Amino acid sequence: MSPDGFISEAIAYSGMILILGAFLLETRNVLDSKNKIYLLMMASGSGLLAIRALLIDEWAFLILEIVWCLAAILALIGLTTKSINEEQHIHE
């Protein structure tokens, strides 16, 4: 396997492990789907798989992973904003 092929495979397996890990932890009630760790795992895994899809010219998979990554990032932003707003409300 060429170095480029190895790197592409490593990216794919890393993304897959992150997404499957998040899913397994969520289905076992270890993490909630709105938990920051879960969302970070999903965003990171999807981002890595999007890179892999780009490298191998899998356009439908690329779009899927970009949307999935953006959904996780938006959820993280929402959690952070909600947390900041609640903290400000407590100090008023």
20-63 pLDDT, tens digit each:
999 999 999 999 999 999 999 999 999 999 999 999 999 999 99
Residue 4: what pLDDT?
A: 75
Residue 23: what pLDDT?
A: 97
Q: What percent of the chain has pLDDT over 90?
A: 78
Query: Torsion angle of alpha carbons 42, 44, 45, 47, nearest 10°?
Result: 110
| Pair 1, 9: CB distance under 8 Å | yes
Angle between helices 36-55 and 59-90 (to 10 degrees): 160
Mean pLDDT of the chain: 91
Burial of 84 (0-12, 13-18, 19+ CB in 10 A): exposed
What pTM does this model have? 0.85
Listed by start position, the domains of the chain span 3-90
